[in-house]
Amino acid sequence: MTRQMLLLEVCCPSCNAALTEGQKVHLDAYIKDTHQEANLYLSAVFGEYTIDCDVAIPEGAIVQFRCPVCEQSLMLEIPCRLCGAPMASLNIVNGGSVEFCSRRGCKGHALGGFGDVDQMMTLVNNMFRTPHD
Ligand SMILES: [Zn+2]
Ligand SMILES: [Zn+2]
């Protein structure tokens, strides 16, 4: 039996560009603390929390995410429940959206792992609710 890997197929909320490249989600990032622009790759594999970035992101630094295609900010006005940093948001191709904390190392989602089991289940449900048309 093979376990199917859950890949998050995400797209930009502004321009709808697909941002999942292979098993990674490509985003533009601006690291506030160090004033650096970077290409950042989140793992698109569900349950995997690795990130690749071409510059070092200090633990606890806040990263501002942008769409690499249209340059629109992905940041929300909503603060992270765990640490108060702004949340970022991406649309899921199959419907719904995923929000994640912009602070490196925070347990509030993609940059540190999905911290909330309920939210994770909602996300899984959204991903499996694929319409067959
Ligand atoms: Zn875009
Ligand atoms: Zn947080």
**pTM for the whole structure:** 0.79
Q: Are 24 and 43 in contact (CB under 8 A)?
A: yes
Q: Where are the domains of the chain?
A: 10-128
65 C-alpha vs ligand 2 centroid, how far in Å?
Answer: 14
Q: Which residues surround ligand 1, an ion (CB under 5 A)?
A: 12, 14-15, 17, 67, 69-70
89 C-alpha vs ligand 2 centroid, how far in Å?
Answer: 13
Q: What is the pLDDT along the chain (133 residues), one digit of tens a residue?
A: 455 677 889 999 999 999 999 999 999 999 998 999 999 998 888 777 778 899 999 989 999 999 999 999 999 998 988 899 999 999 988 888 888 889 988 876 544 344 455 666 666 666 665 544 4
Counting every residue, how long is the chain? Answer: 133
For residue 66, the ligand closest to its alpha carbon is 1
- Rounded Cα gap, residues 98 and 52, in angstroms: 19
94 C-alpha vs ligand 1 centroid, how far in Å?
Answer: 17
